């Protein structure tokens, strides 16, 4: 954080009569608990920046934001009283969190009439929230005019008062806690702390080893170098300091299991001639030409730039990279790739980090080019992390280097473009997560790095993509001539530099054997699967587009078990009309030959948002108007979708599935609507209509629902979330949202029993269906259709073919009485070992 200790003039952010805080109709502001400041009764329709600075906090609802000025003063601008309750109505944000703004820049456009009609008072606050470090002296005036000086801020020269651990003074609270996060406070737990702190208006800090960092700064938190078992102090200052403290203590006490790969060879083996020895990050055996990848080197900086232009270029480059990362996140979410999602969410947070932005901005203002300023800001932070002498923190420096390269590429207008030779094994000093995504798309055969660790984000991604990867090979790997034939034996952490023809042939032989096995599985995948005792289990696919349906068909899917229609038009800015929808559904049907296709009506709300379908902000979106409940507020949208669905051909192959049903009346209402639409379109028979079982109420009511539904499909992702009361997207709870929890198994058992009473079939389309460990349990509990991700069809069919359904039934009953998901997993491994 820049803290040049300079005095600062704050200009009026609004025009209107000036009030002292004591005259504000709100106890908390009036008491000065939030800090010193002034109030203005606004007459104009826009909030402007009172000084240069960075937006370090922006309320989602737009009614409040905090700027950090270059001298470190933090200024809260709060429009109206209790305006949080307007949920964004009447506020149009003109800036984003993390943006650098200049004095007088428009920040939020206000619809004053609308706000005034709905809130207690329009009186708006300008508060210095770190009043412990700065002093504020208002200029005496009765009327403020936008852009005119309003008050002066001076640094205090006494050190800030600190509270003792566990003590609470006024609106300050603090306590100490020991860190149990495996590996310490690295990027992902730090991101959780940041997110937690952002939920409160209090300013929170972590203190460790004589250093402090604001909880809002990921870089600052990482820079503290807090390791596992270190004791830290948390302090919170502000209106909700006690609640913020408790939430932060809870977040800090969560132990996130460290995802160490079972197959990683943690130790280096002894050196051998012609072989570089490193550490396995993702197993696999490949051979091919070595291809060296280098990073961007900048020429010397002439330092003859116009600062404003450079700042604009940096802003534009940052925005471009943020957009790219958001798209990666969206794809990861769609693919339910939790690891990839968490990694890039942390990147997004790093990219918005005020400490980085401020360092780069300050360098530009002192004459640096945007490129050099950004490179240097990142390098300085990397040096801090590397200087901590802890491997996990050093690995996080690689995430920063990733952002360094991405933003430099954006600034230089360079696309990520390399001509990768076929089957190349890529060597680099250290690859970054975004490099890895690109290389995997370009079909790289393997990866090897001079540095890096087996717990790095690149390693997690490489394992997820099945891309053999060895790290920590030493700088010799960078001296290997471009194009030299090598063997990468990743499971053993070896890069063989001079494989002879025999070794080469051997590797090819092993690869061919594996390929053959996959081909055989693939050939079998086209045949229906049944258990050893003759119980048929349909293995269908979850898809989000016709191209994925095509892939599913080629992989042997018995049908589409779930088409998530909300993803069909996800890139769109405008809503698709009825004909566009019909064509999209028809394309999925066409891709599936003569197989059935289950199409789920749109499931927006909660974690799934669409640009073309803005929904009102909700206090608890996952408990709000999502799934079929949207029909309550936008019935015409559901009608349009049902009409489009009824026009596909042949209609008998189309089955309709309703998401988030929680009572029978919802089903009856839609069924009636569907019958009416069939009549309007002159259809004599309506398609099968199914209900998703993804809230506990639906599972408990399965028997009643099955009376009126043609089939039930269990959505274990949401069913876990709602049964366990754990956000399915919560980074800190990810390992505990496990659908093999006995409570979930009981609900699945009850669903199957209820459906059986009416002769209906039950499928599973949540992620549990793709977990081979769960296949015997689901078959045993009575599930007869598994809708899985397309690449897993062959594996799950193979698993089904090796099961005895009668034995599955007997053993799965016993699992219902176990104490935890962990116990169920352990029992599954014992009863039905994975090959």
Catalytic residue ranges: 457, 765
Minimal distance, residue 403 CB to Mg ion, in Å: 33
Interacting span for ligand PEP (CB under 6 A) from 321-329, 478-486, 675-683, 712-720: 712-720
CA–CA dist 352, 341 (Å, integer): 17
Query: Is residue 566 within the footprint of Mg ion (CB under 5 A)?
Result: no
Select from 763, 829, 778, 775 the least CA-distant residue to 802. 775
212, 609, 717, 807: residue in contact with ligand PEP (rule CB under 6 A): 717
CB atoms within 10 A of CB 807: 16
Which residues from 325-364 bind ligand PEP, rule CB under 6 A? none
382, 765, 779, 808: residue in contact with ligand PEP (rule CB under 6 A): 765
Answer for the pair 399, 455: CB distance below 8 angstroms, yes or no.
Answer: no
Minimal distance, residue 638 CB to ligand PEP, in Å: 17
Query: Is residue 718 within the footprint of ligand PEP (CB under 6 A)?
Result: yes
Helices (H), 307-451: 307-334, 338-351, 354-365, 370-387, 391-412, 433-441
Quick one: 324 or 727, whose CB is closer to ligand PEP? 727
Look at residue 583 and give the partner it binds from Mg ion, ligand PEP, none, a contact being a CB closer than 5 to 8 Å depending on partner kind: none
Positive or negative CA dihedral for 741, 730, 700, 707? negative
Query: Is residue 89 within the footprint of ligand PEP (CB under 6 A)?
Result: no
35, 433, 766, 780: residue in contact with ligand PEP (rule CB under 6 A): 766
Look at residue 564 and give the partner it binds from Mg ion, ligand PEP, none, a contact being a CB closer than 5 to 8 Å depending on partner kind: ligand PEP
Minimal distance, residue 706 CB to Mg ion, in Å: 19
Helices (H), 647-728: 664-680, 696-700, 702-708, 716-724
Query: Is residue 561 within the footprint of ligand PEP (CB under 6 A)?
Result: no
Query: Is residue 789 within the footprint of ligand PEP (CB under 6 A)?
Result: no
Quick one: 77 or 658, whose CB is closer to Mg ion? 658
Quick one: 373 or 693, whose CB is closer to ligand PEP? 693
Interacting span for ligand PEP (CB under 6 A) from 157-165, 361-369, 698-706, 711-719: 711-719
Query: Is residue 564 within the footprint of ligand PEP (CB under 6 A)?
Result: yes
Minimal distance, residue 751 CB to ligand PEP, in Å: 13
3-state class (DSSP) for residue 745: helix
**Angle, in degrees to the nearest 10, between helices 793-801 and 501-525:** 70
Query: Is residue 716 within the footprint of ligand PEP (CB under 6 A)?
Result: yes
| Cα separation of the two ends of the chain | 53
Quick one: 74 or 694, whose CB is closer to ligand PEP? 694
Task: Tell me the residue number closest to Mg ion, measured at CB.
Answer: 718
Query: Is residue 561 within the footprint of Mg ion (CB under 5 A)?
Result: no
Minimal distance, residue 686 CB to ligand PEP, in Å: 23
CA–CA dist 620, 607 (Å, integer): 11
Which residues from 685-744 bind Mg ion, rule CB under 5 A? 694, 715, 718
Interacting span for ligand PEP (CB under 6 A) from 182-190, 264-272, 465-473, 713-721: 713-721
Q: β-pairing, 536-543 with 529-530?
A: antiparallel
Query: Is residue 609 within the footprint of ligand PEP (CB under 6 A)?
Result: no
Query: Is residue 732 within the footprint of ligand PEP (CB under 6 A)?
Result: no
Quick one: 239 or 729, whose CB is closer to ligand PEP? 729
Answer for the pair 654, 585: CB distance below 8 angstroms, yes or no.
Answer: yes
Quick one: 663 or 729, whose CB is closer to ligand PEP? 729
Quick one: 233 or 626, whose CB is closer to ligand PEP? 626
Residue 588 CA to its chain's centroid (Å): 28
Beta-strand ranges (E) seen in 70-167 are: 74-78, 91-93, 100-101, 106-110, 124-128, 134-138, 143-144, 149-155
Size (the chain), residues? 835
CA–CA dist 277, 494 (Å, integer): 5
Q: Residue holding tokens 């089955």?
A: 655
Quick one: 183 or 766, whose CB is closer to ligand PEP? 766
Minimal distance, residue 618 CB to ligand PEP, in Å: 17
Pull the structure tokens for residue 803: 């099961």
687 Cβ contact partners less than 8 Å away, ≥ 6 residues apart: 645, 646, 651, 652, 654, 655, 656
16, 464, 715, 790: residue in contact with ligand PEP (rule CB under 6 A): 715
3-state class (DSSP) for residue 127: strand
CA–CA dist 381, 384 (Å, integer): 5
Contact residues: Mg ion, CB under 5 A = 694, 715, 718
Contact residues: ligand PEP, CB under 6 A = 562, 564, 603, 694, 715-718, 765-766
């Amino acid at each position: 954080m820049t803290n040049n200790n300079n005095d600062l003039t704050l200009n009026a952010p609004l025009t209107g009569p000036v009030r002292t805080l004591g005259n504000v109709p709100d106890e908390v502001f009036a008491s000065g608990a939030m800090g010193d400041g002034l109030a203005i009764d606004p007459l104009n329709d826009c909030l402007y920046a009172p000084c240069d600075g960075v937006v370090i906090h922006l309320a989602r609802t737009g009614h409040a934001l905090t700027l950090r000025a270059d001298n470190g003063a933090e200024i809260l601008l709060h429009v109206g009283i209790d305006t949080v309750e307007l949920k964004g109505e009447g506020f149009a944000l003109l800036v984003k969190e993390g943006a650098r703004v200049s004095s007088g820049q428009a920040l939020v456009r206000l619809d004053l009439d609308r706000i005034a009609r709905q809130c207690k008072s329009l009186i708006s606050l300008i508060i210095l929230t770190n009043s412990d470090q700065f002093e504020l002296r208002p200029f005496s005036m009765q009327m403020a005019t936008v852009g005119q000086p309003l008050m002066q801020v001076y640094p205090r020269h006494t050190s800030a008062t600190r509270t003792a651990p566990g003590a609470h003074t006024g609106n300050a609270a603090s306590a100490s806690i020991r860190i149990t996060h495996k590996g310490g406070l690295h990027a992902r737990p730090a991101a959780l702390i940041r997110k937690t702190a952002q939920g409160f208006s209090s300013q929170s800090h972590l203190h460790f080893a004589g250093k402090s960092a604001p909880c809002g700064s990921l870089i600052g938190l990482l820079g503290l170098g807090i390791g596992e078992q270190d004791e830290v102090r948390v302090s919170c200052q502000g209106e909700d300091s006690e609640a913020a403290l408790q939430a932060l203590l809870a977040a800090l006490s969560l132990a996130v299991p460290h995802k160490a790969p079972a197959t990683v060879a943690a130790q280096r083996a002894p050196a051998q001639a012609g072989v570089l020895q490193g550490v396995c990050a993702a197993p696999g055996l490949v051979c091919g030409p070595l291809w060296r990848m280098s990073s961007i080197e900048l020429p010397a900086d002439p330092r003859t730039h116009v600062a404003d232009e450079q700042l604009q270029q940096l802003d534009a480059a940052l925005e471009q990279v943020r957009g790219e990362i958001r798209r990666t996140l969206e794809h990861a979410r769609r693919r339910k790739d939790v690891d990839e999602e968490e990694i890039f969410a942390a990147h997004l947070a790093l990219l918005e980090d005020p400490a980085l932005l401020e360092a780069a901005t300050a360098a530009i203002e002192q004459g640096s080019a945007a490129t050099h300023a950004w490179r240097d800001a990142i390098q300085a932070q990397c040096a801090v992390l590397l200087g901590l002498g802890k491997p996990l923190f050093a690995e996080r420096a690689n995430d920063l280097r990733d952002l360094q390269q991405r933003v430099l590429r954006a600034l230089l207008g360079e696309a990520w473009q390399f001509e990768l030779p076929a089957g190349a094994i890529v060597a680099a000093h250290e690859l970054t997560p975004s490099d890895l995504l690109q290389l995997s798309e370009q079909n790289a055969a393997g990866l090897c790095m001079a540095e890096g660790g087996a717990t790095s984000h690149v390693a997690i991604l490489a394992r997820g993509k099945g891309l053999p990867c060895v790290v920590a090979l030493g700088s010799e790997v960078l001296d290997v001539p471009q194009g030299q034939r090598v063997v990468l034996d990743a499971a053993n952490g070896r890069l063989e530099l001079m494989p002879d023809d025999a070794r080469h042939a051997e590797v090819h032989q092993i690869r061919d054997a594996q390929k053959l096995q996959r081909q055989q599985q693939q050939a079998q995948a086209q045949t229906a699967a049944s258990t050893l005792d003759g119980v048929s289990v349909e293995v269908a696919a979850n898809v989000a587009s016709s191209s994925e349906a095509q892939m599913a068909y080629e992989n042997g899917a018995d049908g589409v078990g779930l088409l998530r229609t909300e993803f069909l038009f996800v890139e769109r800015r405008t809503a698709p009309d009825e004909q566009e929808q019909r064509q999209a559904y028809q394309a999925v049907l066409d891709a599936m030959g003569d197989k059935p296709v289950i199409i789920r009506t749109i499931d927006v709300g909660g974690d799934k948002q669409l640009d073309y379908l803005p929904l009102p902000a909700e206090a608890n979106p996952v408990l709000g108007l999502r799934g079929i409940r949207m029909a309550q507020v936008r019935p015409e949208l559901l009608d349009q979708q049902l009409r489009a669905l009824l026009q596909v051909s042949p209609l008998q192959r189309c089955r309709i599935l309703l998401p988030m049903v929680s009572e029978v009346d919802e089903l009856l209402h839609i069924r009636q609507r569907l019958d009416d639409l069939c009549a309007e379109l002159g259809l004599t028979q309506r398609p099968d209509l199914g209900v998703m079982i993804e809230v506990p109420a639906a599972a408990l009511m399965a028997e009643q629902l099955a009376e009126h539904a043609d089939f039930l499909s269990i959505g274990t992702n949401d069913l876990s979330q709602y049964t366990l009361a754990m956000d399915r997207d919560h980074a800190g709870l990810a390992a505990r949202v496990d659908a093999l929890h006995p409570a979930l198994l009981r609900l699945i058992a009850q669903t199957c029993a209820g459906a059986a009473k009416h002769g209906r079939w039950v499928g599973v389309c949540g992620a549990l269906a793709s977990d081979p460990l769960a296949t015997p349990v689901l078959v045993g509990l009575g599930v007869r259709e598994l809708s899985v991700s397309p690449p897993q069809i062959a594996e799950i069919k193979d698993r089904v073919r090796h099961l005895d359904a009668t034995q599955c039934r007997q053993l799965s009953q016993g699992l219902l009485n176990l104490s935890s998901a962990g116990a169920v997993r352990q029992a599954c491994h014992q009863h039905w070992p994975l090959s």
